[in-house]
Amino acid sequence: MYTIKQPDQIIFGMNSSKKFTFPKNSLVITSSGTKSRGWLNYLNIKNYEIFDLVEPNPSMETVEKILSKYNQTFSSVIGLGGGSSLDVAKFVSNKLKIKKILIPTTFGSGSEVTKISVLQIDGKKTSFHNDNLLADVSIIDPYFIKNAPFEIIKNSAIDACAQCTEAYDSKLANPYTKFLCRKAFNILESALLNKKYEELAYGAMISGLGFGNSSTTLGHALSYVFSNEGVSHGHALAFTTTAAHKFNNSEFYERFKLLVKKLNFKPIKLDQDFNEATKIIQLDRKHLDYNPKNVSKKDIMNLLSIINT
Ligand SMILES: [Zn+2]
């Protein structure tokens, strides 16, 4: 038996967020670049408060700060930005028990269509999985990719590619998620190879619907020790997911590796002692338990040394 969960409403297409009628008296949650980029004018939101101090890799303190800052009653939360802004918006709206409207401006985390929110607790990335974190309305507008720096585009895109390919192989996969994940990778790969970056928005959305209803696996599990040393999520996955795909004999191994090469990711290195890193990775049961193959301590040590060369 399988169950699929997704936002009540998914709206997508060029300028879809501009055409949307936003509810009055909303709280916009976003990061500091939003105003200067003119995104609020583009969206045409009326009567709103704004919190635009969401940091990269946000912490639970940011959620608490927002909750204590405002004492008026809002009609809804509008999350606008990359995965960080959306994850904070999801958490805040769930606490306030009000509607959440999510608008991604980078396309990779899939947060706008998943029930997952990742926040730092005591300096460690912690992922929360809860049906209440699903958006009421998710608006995917490729407009936002237009002026995005290529570094952001490639890091987001490789995350989406890692998510859908890991999820395709996941033990939690089902015929529906496999259908979505394969479709997502085909779209993302073609968008990257043909430099049609607007199509990444659609590919990342399909990837989010696929992996959000199954799970990412070994590639993601291996990535966090690198992220803890400051390597960005996508950059880490470029190498950890490649190594994981080889280990798992994934049918996507060659195609994923080719994308990493085309996007010109610089090799990554782990400074931390491998033994210590392996201990941390082994605790990540959310990812490892759904990996198609069992992963031993020795396997993780081997994978880390492959990634580090
Ligand atoms: Zn990811």
What CATH number corresponds to the domain at position 241? 1.20.1090.10
Query: Could you count the other beta carbons within 10 Å of the beta carbon of residue 121?
Result: 11
User: Cβ contacts of residue 285 below 8 Å, gap of 6+?
Assistant: none
Q: Identify whether residues 155 and 14 lie together within a single domain.
A: no
pLDDT value at position 188? Answer: 98
The Å distance, Cα 232 to ligand 1 centre, comes to 10
In the reported structure, the alpha carbon of residue 176 is separated from the centroid of ligand 1 by a whole-number distance in angstroms of 20
pLDDT one-digit tens code per residue, 230-240: 899 999 999 99
Same structural domain for residues 56 and 156?
no
283 has pLDDT over 90: yes
pLDDT at 57 over 90: no
Ligand 1 center to 162 CA (angstroms): 7
Distance 278 CA to ligand 1 centre (A): 19
**257 alpha carbon to ligand 1 midpoint, in Å?**
17
Looking at residue 123, its pLDDT comes to 81
Secondary structure of residue 18 in the 3-state scheme? helix
Do residues 154 and 137 both lie within one domain? Answer: no
Distance 131 CA to ligand 1 centre (A): 19
* Ligand 1 center to 37 CA (angstroms): 25
Distance 46 CA to ligand 1 centre (A): 33
**Is residue 117 very low, low, confident or very high in pLDDT (cuts 50, 70, 90)?**
very high
Residue 280 has pLDDT above 90, yes or no: yes
* CA distance linking residue 281 with residue 224, whole number of Å: 8
Q: State in Å: Cα 21 to ligand 1 middle.
A: 31
Task: Give the range among 36-40, 216-220, 234-238 with minimum mean pLDDT.
Answer: 36-40
Distance CA 73, CA 50 (A): 14
pLDDT at 125 over 90: no
Answer whether residue 1 is part of any domain.
Answer: no
Q: Say whether both 170 and 291 belong to one domain.
A: yes
Region 150-164 average pLDDT: 96
| Integer Cα distance of 198 and 217 in angstroms | 27
Ligand 1 center–CA 237 separation, angstroms: 8
| 111 Cα to the center of ligand 1, angstroms | 10
| Residue 66 belongs to some domain of the structure | yes
Q: How far apart are CA 177 and CA 37, in angstroms?
A: 35
Task: Give ∠ CA 130-178-161 in degrees, rounded to 5.
Answer: 80
CA 298 / ligand 1 centre spacing (Å):
24
Write the single-letter amino acid at 233. H
Q: Quickly list H helices, the chain.
A: 16-19, 39-43, 60-69, 83-96, 150-169, 175-193, 199-211, 218-227, 233-247, 253-262, 274-282, 285-288, 297-307
Residue 154 lies inside a defined structural domain of this protein: yes
Average pLDDT over residues 44-67: 94
Task: Name the pLDDT band for 122 (thresholds 50, 70, 90).
Answer: confident
Domain-ending residue, one of 113, 145, 177: 145
Considering only CA atoms, which of 167, 308, 299, 156 is closest in space to residue 233? 156
Of 145, 178, 207, which marks where a domain is finished? 145
Q: How far is the CA of 161 from the centre of ligand 1 (A)?
A: 9
What pLDDT is recorded for position 296? 97
Q: Are residues 128 and 175 in the same domain?
A: no
Q: Are residues 300 and 159 in the same domain?
A: yes
Q: Distance between CA atoms of 17 and 88, rounded to whole angstroms?
A: 20
CA of 221 from ligand 1 middle (Å) equals 10
In a domain, 242, yes or no: yes
CATH number (domain holding residue 21): 3.40.50.1970
Note whether residue 125 is domain-resident: yes
Q: Is 2 among the domain residues?
A: no
> Is position 187 within any domain?
yes
- 245 CA distance to ligand 1 middle (Å): 15
Predicted confidence band at 147 (pLDDT cuts at 50, 70, 90)?
confident
- Tell whether 4 is covered by a domain: no
Distance 98 CA to ligand 1 centre (A): 27
Residue 25 predicted with pLDDT over 90: yes
Distance 198 CA to ligand 1 centre (A): 20
Average confidence score pLDDT of the chain:
95
Total count of domains within the chain: 2
Which pLDDT value is given to residue 309?
Answer: 80
Task: Assess whether 129 and 164 both reside in one domain.
Answer: no
Separation of CA 154 and ligand 1 centre (Å) = 13
What's residue 71's pLDDT?
A: 81
Distance from residue 267's CA to the centre of ligand 1 (Å) = 18
Domain match, 94 and 201 both: no
Ligand 1 centroid, distance to 220 Cα (angstroms): 6
Domain boundary among 126, 145, 164: 145
Domain span holding position 102: 9-145
Closest CA to 154 of 120, 191, 129, 184: 191
* pTM for the structure as a whole: 0.94
166 C-alpha to ligand 1 centroid (Å): 10
**113 shares a domain with 179:** no
Distance 69 CA to ligand 1 centre (A): 30
Instruction: For residue 118, give the nearest of 163, 152, 75, 73 by alpha carbon.
Output: 163
Q: Kindly state whether residues 137 and 279 are assigned to the same domain.
A: no
Token representation of residue 128: 């929360």
Q: What is the pLDDT of residues 2-15, one digit of tens each?
A: 999 999 999 999 99
> What is the share, in percent, of the chain residues with pLDDT greater than 90?
89
Cα-to-centroid distance, 241 and ligand 1 (Å): 10
User: Are 168 and 301 within one domain?
Assistant: yes
Q: Which two tokens stand for residue 305?
A: 């040394």
- Clarify whether residues 301 and 159 are in a common domain: yes
